[in-house]
Amino acid sequence: MRIALLGCGSVGRGVATVILEKGLDITITGMADSKSAVMDPDGIDIRAMLAKKRDTGLCGDRGLTAADVVNQGGYDVLVEVTPTNALTGEPALEHIRAALKRGRHVVTSNKGPVALAFSELRDMAQAAGVEFRYEATVGGAIPILHTLEHGLGGNTVKGLYGVLNGTCNYILTRMSEEGLTYDQALSEARELGYAEADPTYDVKGIDAAIKLVILADTIWGMQATLDDVEVTGIDMLTADALRLAATQDCTIRLIGEVVPEPKILRVAPRMIPTNHPLVIEGTLNAVTLKTDMAGEITLIGKGAGSIETASAIIGDLTYIAERYVKGT
């Protein structure tokens, strides 16, 4: 299987590293970062590319671009792992459209295009007879979409709720366990690399809301947008609120919830019993799927990380290889 890999940040390097170290039967024929690109129909030298990126900050040549790779490269699957732009989805959205128009499968970890243009991209993929897969956009390494698609085959999903942002969960865990204030816990999260310099998207609940939109569109075809989600972040939570919850054998977690009928899309800090499966520690994520036959199924795992996200990407590539790329 030949892939073109857009994005050479921690996820892109993670995917390339896993392909190299596990000796997977996947050839990277093109790779691009924001300033350069490299193409080789026989497969680029992954080790050399990673070394060049480390030494120069570029994965390829300045004369080539991601668009060149997408439009001229020879590949079976476009793997789009550039950072999320939640407002426009660009430049990923344009690249994904171009690959689907060329009849290529697309695998992405980029939440922007999926949240903004799910129906369009799904329809384009169906028309072209190819796959559009995005397991890595929700819950990191947790195979939520695979489980919905296959593991719970025959079930009707009646709703879901979960912890979809590891940064918030880390902050709330520390406030709850150590009695830290919100500002203290956020500082600690920043120092450990669990929160970005500007943590707005995470702590305001926007990242979790985007993931809810993706799940709502995938499971129920809701054609939801970020505006449909009622969002409350954790940045106004006080240590007192956590202490009060503790007196009732409860704690507070940022819970995302979708109900299809009557339609509810909501992200908010919620008080839940400390023995509830969604009370998980640190940067973990968890999702509970409410189904008609299987009852409630909860999946817990790492919500972020270079290799963890690569795991979800490789899972999608394996799925495509098994179904479409015979002989690999």
Could you tell me the two tokens for 241? 């609120």
Single residue of 318, 324, 325, 328 touching its own copies by CB under 8 A: 318
3-state secondary structure the chain: CEEEEECCCHHHHHHHHHHHHCCCCCEEEEEECCCCEEECCCCCCHHHHHHHHHHHCCCCECCCCHHHHHHHCCCCEEEECCCCCCCCCCCHHHHHHHHHHCCCEEEECCHHHHHHHHHHHHHHHHHHCCCEECHHHCCCCCCHHHHHHHHCCCCCEEEEEEECCHHHHHHHHHHHHHCCCHHHHHHHHHHCCCCCCCCHHHHCCHHHHHHHHHHHHHHHCCCCCHHHCEECCCCCCCHHHHHHHHHCCEEEEEEEEEEECCEEEEEEEEEEECCCCCCCCCCEEEEEEEECCCCEEEEEEECCCHHHHHHHHHHHHHHHHHHCCCCC
Residue count at the site for its own copies (CB under 8 A)? 44
CB of 260 or CB of 315, closer to its own copies: 315
74 makes contact with its own copies (CB under 8 A): no
23 makes contact with its own copies (CB under 8 A): no
Stretch that binds its own copies, among 29-37, 69-77, 149-157, 224-232 (CB under 8 A): 149-157
277 makes contact with its own copies (CB under 8 A): yes
Stretch that binds its own copies, among 34-42, 160-168, 179-187, 318-326 (CB under 8 A): 318-326
Annotated binding-site ranges for L-homoserine: 196
Give the dihedral sign, CA 53/58/64/65. positive
142 makes contact with its own copies (CB under 8 A): yes
Single residue of 225, 272, 315, 328 touching its own copies by CB under 8 A: 315
Compute CA distances 130 → 24, 76, 77, 253, whole Å. Answer: 22, 10, 9, 38
Single residue of 20, 58, 128, 152 touching its own copies by CB under 8 A: 152
CB of 197 or CB of 293, closer to its own copies: 293
159 makes contact with its own copies (CB under 8 A): no
Block residue for tokens 């799927």? 289
Single residue of 67, 86, 264, 307 touching its own copies by CB under 8 A: 307
20 makes contact with its own copies (CB under 8 A): no
194 makes contact with its own copies (CB under 8 A): no
Instruction: Report the C-alpha gap between 12 and 173 in whole angstroms.
Output: 30
Q: Which of residues 229-268 bind its own copies (CB under 8 A)?
A: none
Active site residue 52: no
Could you tell me the two tokens for 152? 């719970």
79 makes contact with its own copies (CB under 8 A): no
9 makes contact with its own copies (CB under 8 A): no
Shortest Å, Cβ 228 to its own copies:
28
10 makes contact with its own copies (CB under 8 A): no
Given the residues 53, 211, 263, 326, select the one marked as catalytic.
Answer: 211
What is the identity of the amino acid at 307? I
Annotated binding-site ranges for NADP(+): 7-12
**Helix axis angle, 92-101 to 111-128, nearest 10°:** 10
24 makes contact with its own copies (CB under 8 A): yes
310 makes contact with its own copies (CB under 8 A): yes
Stretch that binds its own copies, among 62-70, 84-92, 164-172, 301-309 (CB under 8 A): 301-309
Annotated binding-site ranges: 7-12, 111, 196
Name the site residues for its own copies (rule: CB under 8 A).
Answer: 18, 22, 24, 141-143, 146-147, 150-156, 274-275, 277, 279-281, 291, 293-302, 305, 307-308, 310-312, 314-315, 317-319, 322
Active site residues: 211
